[in-house]
Amino acid sequence: MGKEDIHINDDLLIEQEFNNLISDYLKTNHRRKVDIITKAFLLAKEAHKGARRRSGEPYILHPIAVARIVCGEIGLGSTSICAALLHDVVEDTEYTVEDLRVLFGDKIAQIVDGLTKISSGMFGENVSAQAENFRKLLLTMSDDIRVILVKIADRLHNMRTLGSMAPAKQYKIAGETMYIYAPLAHRLGLFAIKTELEELSFKWENPEVYNEIALKLQASHSARTNVYEHFARPVVDKLNELGFKYEIRAREKSIYSIWNKMQAKGVPFEEIYDIFAVRIIFENGPGVDEKKRCWDIYSVITDIYKLRPDRIRDWVSRPKSNGYQALHLTVMGPDGQWIEIQIRSRRMDDIAEKGFAAHWKYKEGKIEEDTELDKWLKTIKEILESPSPNAMDFLDTIKLNLFSQEIFVFTPKGEIRTLAQGATALDFAYDVHSDIGDHCIGAKVNHKLVPLSEKLNSGDQVEILTSKTQRPKSEWLTLVTTAKARTKIEYALRRSRRETSKRGEEIITNGFAEAGIEFTPDVLVKMIDYYQKTTKDDLFFAIGNHDIILPQKIEKLLALKKQGQDNLLLRYMKQAFHVVKRPEKEKVSKPEDSEPINPKKTYILEEDSFSKNFRMPSCCNPIPGDKVFGYLTDNNEVEVHSIHCPVGLKLKASQGDRIVNLEWGSYTQFPFMSTIIVTGIDRMGMLNDITKVITAGSLNIKEMNIETNDGVFEGRIVVYVHDVNDLQTLCSRIAKIKGVKAVNRKQS
């Protein structure tokens, strides 16, 4: 096929995809602004002319695909569709934001500008040094939420086409998606997109596990269908009899959420029973109360099946902060299985699938004031006012807000406040006002005096007790769970430390001035060494805090030279001793003794790798056979992390240019530590039988702890193995012991 034929085929494909976009747009209830969308498409097509994606397809197909997600899956209008079509134009071509402003107006230019900042800032190559860019992203997002909605659509399409990327790039993008984009989508109410982002991240990082669960789901599908049909038949009959207009269906959990539950409970696939939930979506006629209709359907179901009272979730009366509304209940089905049911109106379902922001905030002709989403964005802005100086700490702080589930508590005057689940009395104090938090000494929950660490529950009435003499303490950071409180406490502590350091500096400079002696940098260095401080700020703080009491005769400080050197020698000796005591697995050579690591190369982890510059951190303890990746440190060392490691997830999200492809080689000598959890029915000789099986496999036990409670035991066994096969063989042998019910590897 000649070049001309390829161009003709490309043009036909591009035209077809653009027509599909226009078709999607005309099906929505947005105003018909086809002209401006066509204008944006023609400019983007010309700007990206000749450019191709890594997969080989014309580049313009990517912006069109993003625009289709923005339109069809999120439900946004022409402004966002144009921004999606133009989102890479400023970054990749000669066009500027000013050009777009002249051609398309302020709004579209502002959104494209925000998207360009995200690409080159927060998610560029050097994120750990770019906290400021992340703040810009969030500030842009809080000015116009459409920026992040288009960016999420862009990420979703990238995840759908990730196969053409190199493995290290796949790890970076998948890790970043799981760490930032999936929680953002969840917080914005984009549940379908959040689920797909998690699913695709999991699929690319764990293809073997993903396929294994997918096959098991497929094999057990007919059994689940039977359970659903037995449950649904009497419900359908009754709802039809009462004249409800509705849709009922079974919705299966995603593979990622099933795997997550398997890990959390330490059970195999066969012991996950709530794989599907039943969803009832009703059409609500004019003048009918949605809330009442939800409870009418609830009544129909509970007349037929026995309710599990502790599993009722009323998100209809009080929606989640991302706009989600539904009534959840769990009943005992006819086949002896607990079945979860979600009841919601068509409007509630639209919000759940397409997102609170898109459905309300930018619905044509209607802007809701003071929505729950606006309150959340206001909280984000408050965090931005006094961010942590460390970029990754700052990212973690924001994530606290992204992941939070809500509880509702009351002030003494009856005002409702929304807090994250697990919030304490101190969190509540800071939620009311930072001054109240800073001076908080205790709280009354439901008129009973409680400590600051008291965890709150929905419905609690909370009164905060304050004192003017109270000041934030560093231990308070362990008493709070919300991002807002943590940020305010850190800010107060930094301010307090600066004031104390300044006081300490004044004490020492005044002392020298009164003695008529010059306070030189040389004297300062000697004092830092003598008092074993790291920086001058540490020294000034210790003096201001009265941890160090200076001598009455200040000239004594000039005679510190010998003592300072002795102290330095002692510290060097301690450091040397520490190096000698390092565990065998973490021995590494000096960087100059080893060849530089190339992030684009795949490295094989052989027997002698760890005598070079590879090392095993203690966060996840991977063993040969586990899927792993490497992280290149500043010292040209490579940390080996499991693909599931939470520390590794953060590294993939933030340090993508330092991710290294690793594969295991052969291992025979070098043992690795792993933990297994054994549960079962206790009996005489059980411990002896387990020990025999382990020693029969020529494996060494490092630690063993077994607890028995009312005839049931749980054991935690730490063993040394050579690879995953050793571990799987051991687990299958222990599982055959009489009385053992489950054996699972404990993931770090």
The 10s digit of each residue's pLDDT in 290-299 is 899 999 999 9
- Residue holding tokens 């508590």? 409
Which residue, 447, 445, 446, 425, is CA-closest to 437?
Answer: 425
Q: How confident is the model at residue 134 (pLDDT cuts 50, 70, 90)?
A: low
Average predicted confidence (pLDDT) for the chain: 79
For the ranges 372-386, 568-582, 726-740, the lowest mean pLDDT is seen at: 568-582
Q: Sort strands 638-642 and 712-721 into parallel, antiparallel or unpaired.
A: unpaired
Q: Phi/psi zone of residue 638: left (φ > 0), alpha (ψ -120 to 50 degrees), beta?
A: beta
Percent of the chain with pLDDT over 90: 19
Say if residue 129's pLDDT is above 60.
no
Comparing 203-212, 402-411, 639-648, which segment has the lowest mean pLDDT? 402-411
pLDDT tens-digit profile of 174-192? 887 887 788 878 877 788 8
Annotated catalytic residue: which of 10, 17, 57, 91? 91
Q: 31-87 pLDDT, tens per residue?
A: 788 899 999 999 998 888 888 888 788 889 999 999 999 988 888 888 889 999 998
Check whether 590 has a pLDDT greater than 80.
Answer: no
Question: pLDDT tens digits for 137-150?
Answer: 565 555 567 888 88
pLDDT of residue 584: 36
| pLDDT score of 121 | 44
Alpha-carbon distance 522 to 344, whole Å?
A: 73
pLDDT at 388: 53
- Residues spanned by CATH 3.10.20.30 within the chain? 372-491
Catalytic residue (one of 10, 92, 290, 537): 92
Q: What is the C-alpha to C-alpha distance for residues 465 and 89, in angstroms, rounded to an integer?
A: 55
Q: Is 91 a catalytic residue?
A: yes
CATH topology of domain 672-745: Alpha-Beta Plaits (3.30.70)
For residues 362 and 679, the model is more confident at 679
**Amino acid letter, 647:** V
pLDDT of 723 over the 90 cut: no
DSSP code at position 287: T
Task: Answer yes or no: is pLDDT of 399 > 70.
Answer: no
Please tell me the predicted confidence (pLDDT) of residue 261: 86
Task: Give per-residue pLDDT as tens, 275-288.
Answer: 889 999 999 877 88
Position 572 scores a pLDDT of: 36
Residue 251's Cβ-count burial label (10 Å; 0-12, 13-18, 19+) is exposed
DSSP 564: H
pTM of the predicted model as reported, rounded to 2 decimal places? 0.64
User: How large is the average pLDDT for residues 447-455?
Assistant: 85
Separation CA 224–CA 262 (nearest Å)? 18
CB 166 within 8 A of CB 135: no
In the residue annotation, 314 being an active-site residue is answered as no
Name the fold adopted by 3-164.
Hypothetical protein af1432 (1.10.3210)
pLDDT of residue 131: 47
CB 398 within 8 A of CB 380: yes
**Among 262-276, 423-437, 577-591, 649-663, the least confident range:** 577-591
Are 323 and 145 in contact by the 8 Å Cβ rule? The answer is no
User: Which position has the higher pLDDT, 18 or 593?
Assistant: 18
582 compared with 535, residue with greater pLDDT: 535
User: Cα–Cα distance between 524 and 530 in angstroms, integer?
Assistant: 10
Alpha-carbon distance of 447 to 452, in angstroms, equals 14
Where in the chain do CATH 3.30.460.10 domains reside?
213-361
Question: 733 pLDDT exceeds 80?
Answer: yes
Superfamily designation of domain 372-491? Beta-grasp domain (3.10.20.30)
Calculate the dihedral angle through the C-alpha atoms of 214, 218, 220, 221, rounding to the nearest 10 degrees.
120
Compare 588 and 679 and report the one with higher pLDDT.
Answer: 679
Nearest-5° Cα angle at 420, 307 to 647: 105
Average pLDDT over residues 347-367: 60
What integer pLDDT is reported at residue 157 of this predicted model? 92
Interatomic CA distance for residues 305 and 308, integer angstroms = 10
Q: 661: helix, coil or strand?
A: strand
How many angstroms separate the Cα of 362 from the Cα of each of 106, 183, 350, 358, 365? 16, 22, 14, 6, 8
**Helix, strand or coil for residue 328?**
strand
| Span between the terminal Cα atoms of the chain, in Å | 54
Q: What is the pLDDT of residues 219-267, one digit of tens each?
A: 998 988 999 999 999 999 999 999 999 999 998 889 999 998 888 777 8
Of the listed ranges 153-157, 314-318, 646-650, 699-703, the one predicted with least confidence: 646-650
DSSP one-letter string for 372-438: HHHHHHHHHHHHHHS--SSHHHHHHHHHHHHH--EEEEE-TT--EEEEETT-BHHHHHHHH-HHHHH
Tell me the average pLDDT across 726-741: 89
Tell me the two tokens of residue 54: 């890594």
Give the list of residues 6+ apart from residue 572 with CB closer than 8 angstroms, or none: none
Could you name the CATH architecture of 213-361?
Answer: 2-Layer Sandwich (3.30)
Window from 91-95, 212-216, 327-331 with minimum mean pLDDT: 91-95
pLDDT of 63: 93
CA distance 132 to 310: 45
Q: What is the pLDDT of residue 42?
A: 92
Q: Rounded distance, CA 272 to CA 259, Å? A: 9
pLDDT digits (tens, 9 = 90+) for 489-524: 988 888 888 888 888 888 888 888 887 888 878 778
Q: What's residue 367's pLDDT? A: 37
Q: Which two tokens stand for residue 240?
A: 């039809």
Does residue 747 have a pLDDT over 80? Answer: no
What are the start and end residues of each CATH 1.10.3210.10 domain in the chain? Answer: 3-164
Residue 350 predicted with pLDDT over 60: yes
Whether the Cβ atoms of residue 741 and residue 681 lie closer than 8 Å to each other: yes
| Burial grade of 161 (CB within 10 A; 0-12, 13-18, 19 or more) | middle
Separation of alpha carbons 158 and 181, rounded Å: 12
Neighbours of 732 (CB within 10 A): 10
DSSP state letters, 163-221: GGS-HHHHHHHHHHIIIIIHHHHHHTT-HHHHHHHHHHHHHHH-HHHHHHHHHHHHHTH
